[in-house]
């Protein structure tokens, strides 16, 4: 029996959470049953990683402002390569891909909502437009995956799609693969030295895009309050993004140059997490963040805002601490308390490690996705 042709699609070619999710599927879907290809904008690390996996990559530019030539390029691709199922990830690929798939009568179309970001847009007209677009796209979609129960409830509340099209498949990672990314004591000391972190200083850290969603200014302001109580504390922020200049300015304005390290975008982000005494997440909203699973997999204590999938993964006081989004005083107090209590940090970290390694595995995520593909293709 010939293998079923699957196309995994996303817009941008960098390696964010959605791209990592896509690569997990592309690499681990049953190759005896599925012939997987990847489509994204070309020229970035996603294309490089796809080719390293021995998979075909189709480069199609998908700018945020829809252009007819992008939709036309996808339609031409779908007409020339007869895919059995197209799986789109994220808003831009979801719009272009689902339209082109419907135009070319692709047998099955799946879309994953990696967090419903547009519900948090500050412009109400922009929100309404995106909700309308998703409803239009959902009529051209056979199955829609939500990565958290919270997102499922939002999709139902805003009537983004009929309930029978919606399913929850939570993200997961391969914790065994992470082991090779954790540096030994000498290597860890060397990395800290290169970053300018003196031995013995307490380190809190995050890996996040410097974007409104992640609320990094809030985190830096909380760190400034922590530094008043614990002057040697270091906050390491790994990531880049549109707010980078503003964040550099805030660090200077608060006189936090000694306490905040803006490490930029790095390929060794997992290695850096292993150096943290505590992991922090200050997001205004989330889907189900991979970076939280990575921190949990390394038994790091976590302080995070109580939003969306984060509050599903972490139970306050049992395997981490949750703080209301925007409550800077509570956030800084939680950091100070846990930095002063190593035993509590260890307890929380081990509890989170046990939880994520049981509930958030790559193997489960892939198998549940395969079952969805089979069900849709059997109709």
Element (H, E) at 323: strand 321-323
Report the percent of the chain where pLDDT is more than 70: 96
Answer yes or no: do 121 and 199 share one domain: no
**What CATH number should be reported for the domain holding residue 17?**
3.40.50.2000
Contacts of 118 (CB under 8 A, 6+ apart): 91, 126, 127, 130, 131, 134
| Residue 277 confidence (pLDDT) above 80 | yes
- For the segment 162-183, the average pLDDT, to the nearest whole number, is 86
User: What is the distance between the alpha carbons of residues 324 and 322, in angstroms, rounded to a whole number?
Assistant: 7
* 344 confidence band (pLDDT: 50, 70, 90): very high
Answer yes or no: do 156 and 217 share one domain: no
pLDDT at 240: 93
pLDDT at 62: 83
What's the domain count of the chain?
Answer: 2
Answer yes or no: do 320 and 368 share one domain: no
Domain extent, residue 274, equals 175-359
Answer yes or no: do 71 and 203 share one domain: no
Strands lying side by side in the sheet with 34-40: 56-59, 34-40, 4-10, 85-89, 108-113, 143-146, 166-168
* 208 confidence band (pLDDT: 50, 70, 90): very high
pLDDT at 377: 95
Q: What does the DSSP assignment read for 201-268?
A: --EEEEE--SSGGG-HHHHHHHHHHHHHH-TT-EEEEE---TTHHHHHHHHHHTT-TTTEEEEES-TT
Answer yes or no: do 152 and 31 share one domain: yes
pLDDT at 284: 95
Between residues 328 and 70, which one has the greater pLDDT?
328
pLDDT at 82: 93
* 188 confidence band (pLDDT: 50, 70, 90): confident
| Residue 226 confidence (pLDDT) above 80 | yes
* 64 confidence band (pLDDT: 50, 70, 90): low
| Residue 262 confidence (pLDDT) above 90 | yes
Between residues 362 and 191, which one has the greater pLDDT?
362
Which region among 114-123, 153-162, 202-211, 239-248 has the lowest average model confidence (pLDDT)?
A: 114-123
Answer yes or no: do 140 and 271 share one domain: no
Answer yes or no: do 48 and 69 share one domain: yes
pLDDT at 182: 67
User: What is the distance between the alpha carbons of residues 219 and 29, in angstroms, rounded to a whole number?
Assistant: 38
* 70 confidence band (pLDDT: 50, 70, 90): confident
Answer yes or no: do 164 and 219 share one domain: no
* 67 confidence band (pLDDT: 50, 70, 90): low
* 168 confidence band (pLDDT: 50, 70, 90): very high
Answer yes or no: do 162 and 276 share one domain: no
Between residues 73 and 147, which one has the greater pLDDT?
147
Report the percent of the chain where pLDDT is more than 90: 80
Answer yes or no: do 128 and 188 share one domain: no
| Residue 65 confidence (pLDDT) above 70 | no
User: Which 3 state secondary structure label does DSSP give 112?
Assistant: strand
Answer yes or no: do 18 and 148 share one domain: yes
Averaged pLDDT of the chain? 93
User: What is the distance between the alpha carbons of residues 39 and 50, in angstroms, rounded to a whole number?
Assistant: 10
Answer yes or no: do 291 and 168 share one domain: no
């Amino acid at each position: 029996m010939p293998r079923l042709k699957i196309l995994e699609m996303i817009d941008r070619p960098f390696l964010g959470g959605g791209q990592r999710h896509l690569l997990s599927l592309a690499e681990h879907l049953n190759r005896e049953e599925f012939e997987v290809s990847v489509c994204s904008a070309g020229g970035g690390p996603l294309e490089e990683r796809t080719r390293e996996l021995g998979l075909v990559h189709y480069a199609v530019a998908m700018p945020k402002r829809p252009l007819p030539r992008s939709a036309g390029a996808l339609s031409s691709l779908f007409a020339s390569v007869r895919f059995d199922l197209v799986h789109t990830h994220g808003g831009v690929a979801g719009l272009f891909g689902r339209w082109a798939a419907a135009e070319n009568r692709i047998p099955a179309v799946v879309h994953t909502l990696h967090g419903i970001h547009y519900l948090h847009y500050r412009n109400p007209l922009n929100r309404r437009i995106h909700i309308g677009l998703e409803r239009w796209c959902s009529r051209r979609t056979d199955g829609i995956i939500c990565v958290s129960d919270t997102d499922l409830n939002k999709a139902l509340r805003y009537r983004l799609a009929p309930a029978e099209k919606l399913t929850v498949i939570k993200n997961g990672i391969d914790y065994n693969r992470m082991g090779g990314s954790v540096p030994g004591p000498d290597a860890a000391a060397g990395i800290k030295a290169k970053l300018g972190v003196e031995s013995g200083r307490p380190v809190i850290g995050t890996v996040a895009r410097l974007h409104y969603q992640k609320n990094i200014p809030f985190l830096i302001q909380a760190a400034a309050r922590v530094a008043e109580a614990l002057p040697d504390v270091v906050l390491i922020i790994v990531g880049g993004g549109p707010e980078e200049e503003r964040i550099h300015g805030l660090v200077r304005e608060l006189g936090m140059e000694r306490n905040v390290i803006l490490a930029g975008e790095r390929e060794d982000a997992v290695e850096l997490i292993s150096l943290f005494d505590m992991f922090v997440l200050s997001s205004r909203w989330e889907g189900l963040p991979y970076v939280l699973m990575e921190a949990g997999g390394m038994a790091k204590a976590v302080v995070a805002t109580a939003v969306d999938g984060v509050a599903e993964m972490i139970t306050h006081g049992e395997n981490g601490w949750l703080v209301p989004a925007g409550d800077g005083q509570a956030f800084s107090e939680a950091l100070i308390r846990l930095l002063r209590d190593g035993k509590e940090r260890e307890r929380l970290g081990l509890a989170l490690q046990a939880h994520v390694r049981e509930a958030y595995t790559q193997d489960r995520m892939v198998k549940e996705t395969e079952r969805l593909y089979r069900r849709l293709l059997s109709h």
